[in-house]
């Protein structure tokens, strides 16, 4: 039988002695102390390890998400921007569900809702994977009695329904006419404070992402060796500390180093970034210009595809291109590479020279 005593501080201390185990916790309310003691005794009787106070109080999936985030922060691995956005979405959509209500049927309904809202097969798959991660973490790290099997059944069902699957590889590359139209559009806009033409050319010359372009600093640049360090480059296996030095080449039709020197002339003293702009604003300006010019299905990220393809068309080998793009293996790099067959003539001519 548990003993519950009031301390001088006014708090209640509950102590459980059962089957050779002794546990104690302190609570503000007598009712909480009594409830915890009863649960602890039942868990010991079932041969289960009693849960810590905070864990024992978890009743909803939203609380499980909070526990997962706190655990990740405690070990210095706080969720990144994209994962945090996914977890916040799951909290909004499923957070009020009790743990026993996170079952196959509700997860399939969740997947259907996500697809109806415009989420693609890959996104829905990542969402289901995040749910599985939260549940498996709770079971493995804290011993919370939650089941992962319903998530696997829901994944199978959503896959059969075509709502989970692989993404279609994009092969969209801008034409020279489209690029010329964009440059003319941006250069003629006196109200635009972002040098979009220069950023587009730099994106193609370096195969960098728009957020990377707007993050590199002058201190990351070595003009003597024409090398640029990209800090914390995106990598699914290493979220931070993945710095990479890339060469600033002039083989894609645009000279990366020359574009930086053009940018130096308008350098802002209060900002050390080479391109001191909000990357989302650059993306929005690009999307708006494509819409006004009726350029269909062209995204800023396609410029990274274009830059990668031009490196191959210039005659570089896979391992050499990876030194610029940051890809770790050929399978990932291949997704960004769509060569035009007519460029083989130039490659052949260079090899014959």
Domain ranges of the chain: 3-54, 61-160, 176-352
Q: Is the pLDDT of residue 238 over 60?
A: no
Cβ contacts of 193 within 8 Å, gap of 6 or more: 277
Lowest-confidence segment of 75-84, 210-219, 319-328 by average pLDDT: 75-84
Q: Is the pLDDT of residue 46 over 90?
A: no
Tens of pLDDT, residue by residue over 303-352, are 999 999 999 888 888 889 999 998 877 677 776 666 667 666 666 666 66
Reference 69, options 87, 92, 86, 57; nearest CA is: 87
Residue 58 pLDDT level (bands cut at 50, 70, 90): confident
Q: Is the pLDDT of residue 81 over 60?
A: yes
Q: Where do runs of H (alpha helix) occur along 168-247? A: 176-187, 196-206, 210-213
Q: What is the pLDDT of residue 43?
A: 74
Q: What is the pLDDT of residue 280?
A: 93
Reference 208, options 264, 265, 261, 248; nearest CA is: 248
Neighbours of 96 (CB within 10 A): 11
Kindly report whether the global pTM for this prediction surpasses the value 0.85.
no
15 vs 310: which has the higher pLDDT: 310
Tens of pLDDT, residue by residue over 110-158, are 999 999 998 889 899 999 999 999 999 998 988 788 999 999 999 999 9
268 vs 120: which has the higher pLDDT: 120
Lowest-confidence segment of 5-14, 17-26, 93-102, 316-325 by average pLDDT: 17-26
Residue 31 pLDDT level (bands cut at 50, 70, 90): confident
Q: Is the pLDDT of residue 107 over 90?
A: yes
CB 222 within 8 A of CB 247: no
Query: What stretch of H or E contains 41?
Result: helix 30-45
Q: Over the chain, what is the mean pLDDT?
A: 87
Q: Is the pLDDT of residue 258 over 70?
A: yes
Give the domain 176-352 fold. hpI Integrase; Chain A (1.10.443)
């Amino acid at each position: 039988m548990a003993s519950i005593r009031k301390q001088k501080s006014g708090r209640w201390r509950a102590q459980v002695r059962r089957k050779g185990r002794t546990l104690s916790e302190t609570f503000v309310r007598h009712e909480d102390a009594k409830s915890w003691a009863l649960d602890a005794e039942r868990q010991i009787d079932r041969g289960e390890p009693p849960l810590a106070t905070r864990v024992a109080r978890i009743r909803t999936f939203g609380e499980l998400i909070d526990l997962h985030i706190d655990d990740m922060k405690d070990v210095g691995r706080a969720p990144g921007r994209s994962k945090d956005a996914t977890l916040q979405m799951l909290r909004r959509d499923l957070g009020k569900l009790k743990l026993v209500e996170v079952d196959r049927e509700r997860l399939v309904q969740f997947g259907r809702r996500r697809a109806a809202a415009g989420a693609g097969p890959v996104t829905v798959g990542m969402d289901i994977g995040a749910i599985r991660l939260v549940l498996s973490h709770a079971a493995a790290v804290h011993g919370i009695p939650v089941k992962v099997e319903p998530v696997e059944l829901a994944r199978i069902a959503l896959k059969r329904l075509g709502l989970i699957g692989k993404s279609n590889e994009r092969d969209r590359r801008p034409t020279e006419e489209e690029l010329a139209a964009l440059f003319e559009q941006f250069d003629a806009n006196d109200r635009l404070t972002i040098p979009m033409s220069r950023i587009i050319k730099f994106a193609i010359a370096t195969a960098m992402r728009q957020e990377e372009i707007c993050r590199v600093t002058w201190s990351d640049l070595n003009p003597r060796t024409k090398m640029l360090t990209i800090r914390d480059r995106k990598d699914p296996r290493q979220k931070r500390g993945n710095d990479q030095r890339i060469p600033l080449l002039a083989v894609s039709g645009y000279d990366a180093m020359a574009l930086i020197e053009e940018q130096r002339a308008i350098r802002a003293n209060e900002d050390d970034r080479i391109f001191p702009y909000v990357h989302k604003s650059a993306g929005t300006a690009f999307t708006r210009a494509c819409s006004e010019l009726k350029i269909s299905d062209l995204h800023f990220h396609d410029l990274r595809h274009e830059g990668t393809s031009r490196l191959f068309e210039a005659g570089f080998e896979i391992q050499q291109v990876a030194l610029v793009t940051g890809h770790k293996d050929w399978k990932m790099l291949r997704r960004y590479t769509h060569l035009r067959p007519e460029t083989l003539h130039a490659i052949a001519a260079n090899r014959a020279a």
